[in-house]
Amino acid sequence: MKDTLTKSVDYGRSLGAEYVEVRAQHLFKTLLTTKDGRVEGAKEGIEGGAGVRVLANGAWGFVSLGKLDSKLLTEAAGEAVRLAKAASLRVKKPVKLADVKAVEDRVVATPRKSPQDVSMEEKIDNALAMDKTIFGYDSRIRSCTISYLDVTGTNYFVNSDGACIEQDKLYVWSRILASAREASIYASAREEIGSTSGYEVFDTETPEKVGTMVAKRVVEQLKAKTPKGGSFPAVIGPNVVGVFMHEAMGHLAEADLTLSGSVLYDKLGKQIASDVVTVYDDGTVEGAFGSFKYDDEGVRTQKTALIENGTLTGLMHNRETACKLNMDPTGNARAEDFRFEPIIRMRNTYLAAGDNTFEELIEDIDFGYYLKSFRGGQANLDGTFQVGIQEAYEIVKGQLGDTVRSASISGNTLETLRKVDGVGRDFELWSGRCGKGQIAFICDGGPHIRVGEVIIGGGA
Amino acid sequence: MVAEPKLAELIDFGKRAVKVAVGRGAEEAEAFLSIVSGTSIDIERGQIVRSIKRMDQGLGVRTVYGKAVGFSYINTLTIKNIEEAAARAFRAARASRPDKNWLKFPKPKRYGETRGTYDKRIVGVSSDELVETAAVMLGAVEAYDKRVLAVDGGVGASVFHTVVVNSHGVEAFDMGTAVGCSMETIARDGADVTPACFELNAERVYDLDPEAVGTEAARQAVSSLKAKKIESGVFPVIFTQAAFRSLIYYTLINAVKADYVQRERSALKDKIGEKVASDLVTVYDDGLLEGGLLTSKFDGEGVPCQKTLVIDKGVLKNFLYDNYTANKSGAESTGNASRTGVAPYASTPVLEASNFTFKRGNRTPEELVAEVEEGLLVYGVQGAHSSNAESGEFSVVATPVWKIEGGNVAYAVQGVMLTGVVFDVLRNVSALGSNVRKLGQLVAPWIRVENVRAVGRK
């Protein structure tokens, strides 16, 4: 494989490219979906292919091929150079790359239980056990959809700087959706599980544990009231803190989006959050869904500080943005697979724990909301964010009160970060997937925090 | 752009997979093949930076054994791989569990005509020509106003071929082309930064207006400067296609899918024949729409695409079915099985709307605005995916959004939340525009809705 890729790289260089990289993959996937105890399909797939990316005359050319063939790969390098040169005719500021040390390495996955060694029958049994737990919890539960995916295989990376990396891929993922109905009240809840360790994730995230959590969450909403709209103090749980750190804060600190004019554009080195806020994007968390050793530009992953004690100290980079801002690459360049070029993506993004107890966070709130788990979130470059909440409670006179359904929070990221006035001592990471034209597997999380004021919407 | 694949060879690959699966003992088998190739040009931060070519092909096999379904796919089309994929799909079916509602794969049927879905000029387009198109769009942004930044955008062209073969005699082949350009902008004036604004133009034939896309994206951004905060209230709201599409994608469109209805996940269950929307609302799901972005001869299972009346003058008429849900309800498939994602061959069919078409009204966009004393003009909503699909409840941020006062677009508003239930929105539709356009699954004009609750930030 190394020889095939090297030949393609050398050919691209011989045509005058400043930089050439070839990524090849062999992947094996198992997928299954169950709907209300019915197995919709037990699925397996094998895919292989390569992506050739070149930088010529300051512009990028990229060719992806759903094949691994030495001759075609070499031709692809030629085509990529031609594409880059066509694009370069309009380039005003040529793209340049930050220097990195060229690595040669072989990264071997060492799962306790490789998903390849677990039978399709066992994977189906596991999903059906979760389904059974959920339906068994309450007769008002009407539907349950469980998706399962595992990916195993190998990535090969060779570039014209001399890097040569062979890195095993291993992902195990499941998503559980449940809905319940009572008279005209409809409720739904979801949960995701993800790991880069191995199938052993289900030894701790057992069907009974996860199923009960999802079922409880959906049933609770049936008796819930809708929230009052307006500004309120809130205590935000790790699951919602995570999505806030990812959507509202993280995307703005992806250097490509920062350079595109996100509200962090001119904020490096400045205080942007209250001083209890410290945020990391960390690719080194063992077994976490967003962890890996090398990114898709061959750069070693790291724990990157984004905010330290309220000051914006870092951004997430690829080699291109690092060069542009005269900073170091952070190992955030990721491609969904060989079909895509690497772009700046998050890994495991979280707010660092502080020292408050949960009781301390809620005790001073006369009326507010406890936002425990999210349904989805989105943010805009100007810092406007929205996070849908699936599980929430009123806080009344320092105590948890009634359950609230279909709430959502919104506001401006920077205004909200400045209003964080308490950070818990607990910590949780949650697995998820992020879409930015491509899918990336990520984690986000943090401790419980208290925010002086957020806008609560929702409720008809 | 790409050599035409040999049709006969693709059908032979499909037949081979079906034959091998049946030979192994499968009661039924189906093969789906897709070949997609495309060229695109990326714009980032004011310049063309990248040119991309992609080619992906593959085959997915579904097999049935004892009412259990197994699936397997590959992306390297050799006889050996195809035979192995068929064998693996059969093994997967044996490992799976029987489904008492499984009946059978579709039988062959006559396909309708499609128009405006394939254009040889797109097949032949060069990357240089697409670079030129991107440059025109970028030039229009730059010429509009110095304060505008072309954050992200691009031009793309693609060609796709699809084959479905099954053991009941379905042998279907279709091909199509698509082309599009898009532009995301922001404007910056001192400390004033606008939210991202967006415009696009997507077509099946080679007929793009990159200059109009660039100009409109820039116009929105400049017009979004000096945004004000507003007080909460209940307003008439005009939704553009982009905003309305986001709003209904996770709510109304799911609620009319038979899968959601059968599984009690739809608030429209048992509502066929009932009034669910204003008299002004008539909706078709039209898989054969001329030049429709989702138009094709047949769906992902080889069932003919068709025009299905969903809502007629406010009355719910039909749900959307794929083969499985139709069999379960004793209905006919409406041809709504979709193979989704970047690699269609790698997915089993999913029930999806095709061209979800709102019948046009008679108002120009200017008239829609002029009739509003105090209201909002919403160009996009964010967070729609957090809507409650079951109840239709939504709580989204409108952005970019403008305040309408005295029949005029008065000023940009800093993101307000809109909350409500999508079915109330449908009942409160008070006017539709005549400015129909295609945007993903949605084909619709601007739509005005009364009594929408907005939570302001003042």
From chain A, the residues in CB contact with B396 under 8 A are 386, 408
How far apart are the C-alpha atoms of A132 and A424, rounded to whole Å? Answer: 35
* pLDDT at residue number A458: 64
Query: pTM value?
Result: 0.93
Cβ contact (<8 Å) for B417 and A142? Answer: no
* Structural element, H or E, at residue A12: helix A2-14
For B383, the closest of A86, A260, A376 (CB atoms) is A376
Helices (H), A142-206: 201-204
Banded pLDDT at A296 (limits 50, 70, 90)? very high
Q: How do B442-444 and B356-358 pair as beta strands?
A: parallel
Residue A132 β-bridge partners: none
Cβ of residue A103 closer than 8 Å to a chain B Cβ: no
Q: Cis bond leading into B365, ω under 30°?
A: no
* Distance in angstroms (rounded) separating the CA atoms of residues A79 and A85: 10
A129 at B interface, C-beta within 8 A: no
- B-interface mutation test, from A378, A413, A415, A454, most B Cβ less than 10 A away: A378
For residue B4, the model assigns a pLDDT of 59
Query: Going by DSSP bridges, is the β-strand pair A333-334/A343-344 parallel, antiparallel, or unpaired?
Result: antiparallel
As a whole number, mean pLDDT of residues A270-295 equals 97
Put simply, whether B52 touches A (Cβ < 8 Å) is: yes
For B36, name the nearest residue in chain A, comparing CA atoms only.
A66
DSSP A88-108: HTT-SS----------EEEE-
Q: Å from B39 to nearest chain A CA?
A: 9
What does the alpha-carbon distance between residue B353 and residue A249 come to, in Å, rounded to a whole number? 34
Eight-class DSSP state of B433: B
* Residue A460 banded pLDDT, cuts 50, 70, 90: very low
Residue B283, min C-alpha distance to chain A (Å): 24
Distance from CA of B370 to the nearest CA of A (A): 28
C-alpha closest to that of A35 among A194, A204, A164, A148: A148
Measured CA to CA, the distance from residue A376 to residue A190 in angstroms comes to 10
Maximum pairwise Cα distance, chain A: 72
**Residue A281 predicted with pLDDT over 50:** yes
**Whole-angstrom distance, CA of residue B447 vs CA of residue A275:** 46
* Partner-chain contact A460 B71, CB within 8 Å: no
B203 bridge partner residues: B179
The CA angle A235-A240-A244, to the nearest 5 degrees, is: 105
The residue of chain A nearest to residue B269, with distances taken between CA atoms, is A184
Per the DSSP assignment, residues forming a β-bridge with A191 are: A176
Residues B67 and A41: beta-carbon distance below 8 Å: no
Question: In this structure, are residues A74 and A102 in contact, taking their beta carbons and an 8 Å threshold?
Answer: no
The confidence band for A380, taking pLDDT boundaries of 50, 70 and 90, is: confident
Q: Which of B451, B450, B369, B382 is nearest to B416 (CA)?
A: B382
Distance CA B86, CA B93 (A): 11
| Contact between B11 and B80 (Cβ < 8 Å) | no
State whether residue A196 is helix, strand or coil: coil
**C-alpha–C-alpha distance, residues B94 and A39, integer Å:** 12
Q: Which of A80-84, A361-365, B1-5, B260-264 has the lowest mean pLDDT?
A: B1-5
Distance CA A348, CA A331 (A): 12
Contact A406 B395 (CB under 8 A): yes
Show residues of chain B in contact with A388, CB under 8 Å: 383, 385-387, 395
CA distance A370 to chain B (A): 18
Quote the CA–CA distance of B309 and B225 in Å, as a whole number: 42
**Nearest residue in chain A measured CA to CA from B50:** A60
Q: Which of B63, B395, B401 to mutate to test the interface with A (most CBs of A within 10 A)?
A: B395
pLDDT at A188: 86
Q: Which residues of B touch A128 (CB under 8 A)?
A: 97
B68 touches chain A (CB under 8 A): yes
Judge contact between B351 and B320, C-beta under 8 A.
Answer: yes
What is the pLDDT at residue B1? 46
Edge-to-edge strands of the sheet including B315-316?
Answer: B315-316, B307-312, B283-286, B356-358, B442-444, B437-439
User: Cα(first)–Cα(last) distance of chain B, in Å?
Assistant: 54
Instruction: Output the 3-class SS for B199-245.
Output: EEEEECCCCCCHHHHHHHHHHHHHHCCCCECCCCEEEEEEECHHHHH
Report all structural domains of chain B as residue ranges with CATH numbers, in order of start: 7-223 (3.30.2290.10), 233-455 (no CATH)
| B85, B265, B414 ranked by CB distance to A142: nearest | B265
Does the beta-carbon distance from B92 to A44 stay under 8 Å? yes
Cα B213–B216–B219 angle (5° rounding)? 150
| Residues of A in Cβ contact (< 8 Å) with B56 | 49, 64, 66, 339
Q: Can you tell me the distance from the alpha carbon of B329 to that of B350, in angstroms, rounded to the nearest whole number?
A: 17
**Which long-range CB contacts under 8 A does B337-341 form with residues at least 24 apart?**
B337/B299, B337/B300, B337/B301, B337/B303, B338/B299, B338/B300, B339/B32, B339/B34, B339/B60, B339/B300
Helix axes A70-88, A2-14, angle to 10 degrees: 30
User: Chain B partners of A341 at a C-beta cutoff of 8 Å?
Assistant: 50, 52
Q: How many residues does chain A have?
A: 460
Nearest CA in chain A to B185: A260
Query: pLDDT tens string for chain B (458 positions)?
Result: 445 567 889 999 999 999 999 999 999 999 999 999 999 999 999 999 999 999 999 999 999 999 999 999 999 999 999 999 999 999 999 999 999 999 999 999 999 999 999 999 999 999 999 999 999 999 999 999 999 999 999 999 999 999 999 999 999 999 999 999 999 999 999 888 899 999 999 999 999 999 999 999 999 999 999 999 999 999 999 999 999 999 999 999 999 999 999 998 899 999 999 999 999 999 999 999 999 999 999 999 999 999 999 999 999 999 999 999 999 999 999 999 999 888 999 999 999 999 999 999 999 999 999 999 999 999 999 888 878 777 888 989 999 999 999 999 999 999 799 999 999 999 999 999 999 999 999 999 999 999 999 988 77
CA-to-CA distance for B192 and B194, rounded, in angstroms? 7
pLDDT at A377 over 90: no
Cα–Cα dist A452/A235, whole Å: 9
Rounded to the nearest angstrom, the minimum Cα separation between A423 and chain B is 25
**Residue B363, Cβ neighbours under 10 Å: how many?**
19
Instruction: Report the C-alpha gap between B29 and A395 in whole angstroms.
Output: 57
Residues on chain B touching A66 (C-beta within 8 angstroms) = 55-58, 75-76, 343
Residue B431 backbone dihedrals phi, psi, to 5 degrees: -170, 150
Strands B315-316 and A104-107: unpaired
Contact yes or no for A47 and B383 at CB 8 A:
no
Task: Determine the 3-state secondary structure of B138 from DSSP.
Answer: helix
Which 8-state DSSP code applies to residue A216? H
When scoring B397, B418, B458 by the number of chain A Cβ atoms within 10 A, the one with the most, hence best to mutate, is B397
| Per-residue pLDDT at B389 | 76
> Is the Cβ pair A66, B69 closer than 8 Å?
no
Q: How far apart are CA A261 and CA A441, in angstroms?
A: 25
The rounded distance, in Å, linking the Cα atoms of A110 and A170 is 9
For residue A327, give the nearest of A163, A123, A150, A100 by alpha carbon: A100
Closest partner residue to A376 (CB to CB) among B46, B47, B385 is B385
Interface test mutation site (partner B, options A23, A57, A64, A83, max chain B beta carbons within 10 A): A83
Residue A449 to residue A238: CA distance in whole angstroms: 8
pLDDT at B385: 82
- List all residues of chain B from 11 to 40 with a beta carbon under 8 Å from chain A: none
- Predicted ipTM? 0.91
Orientation of helix B7-24 relative to helix B79-95, angle to 10° = 40
Task: Report the alpha-carbon distance of residue B349 to residue B356 in Å, rounded.
Answer: 18
Asked if residue B294 lies in contact with residue B285, where contact means CB atoms within 8 angstroms, the answer is: no
Instruction: Kindly state the tokens that stand for A71.
Output: 């001759």
Helices B79-95, A120-137: axis angle to 10 degrees equals 40
pLDDT attached to residue B365:
97
> How many angstroms separate the CA atoms of A130 and A145, rounded?
10
Contact A121 B95 (CB under 8 A): yes
Token reading at A119: 């039978």
Q: In 3-state terms, what secondary structure has residue A243? A: helix
Report the C-alpha gap between A249 and B138 in whole angstroms. 29
Nearest CA in chain A to B136: A90
Interface of B with A in 366-405 (CB under 8 A): 382-383, 385-391, 393, 395-397, 399
- Alpha-carbon distance B153 to nearest alpha carbon in chain A (angstroms): 12
What's the rounded Cα separation, in Å, for the pair B286 and B116? 14
φ and ψ at residue A114, rounded to 5 degrees: -70, 135
Q: Please state, in angstroms and rounded to a whole number, the distance separating the CA atoms of residues B41 and B125.
A: 12
Cβ(A444)–Cβ(A242) below 8 Å: yes
pLDDT confidence tier of residue A459, bands split at 50, 70 and 90: low
All domains of chain A, ordered by start, with CATH? Answer: 2-222 (3.30.2290.10), 230-458 (no CATH)
CB-based contact, A203 to chain B, within 8 Å: no
If you count residue pairs, one on A and one on B, with CB atoms under 8 Å apart, how many are there?
279
Interface contact B193, partner A, CB < 8 A: yes
Buried residues in B372-402 as b, exposed as e (16+ CB within 10 A): beebbbbbbbbbbbbbbbbbbbbbbbbbbbb
Host H or E run for residue B306: none
Q: In whole angstroms, what is the distance from residue A215 CA to residue A146 CA?
A: 13
A269 touches chain B (CB under 8 A): no
pLDDT of residue A149: 97
Q: Give B-chain residues touching A455 at CB under 8 angstroms.
A: 417, 455, 457
Q: Give me the pLDDT at residue A228, please.
A: 86
Measured CA distances, A222 to A141, A188, A275, B265 (Å): 10, 9, 39, 14
Structure tokens at A336: 């969904």
CA A143 to chain centre: 27
Beta bridge partners of A234: A369, A451
In this predicted structure, the answer to whether residue A276 has a pLDDT above a threshold of 80 is yes
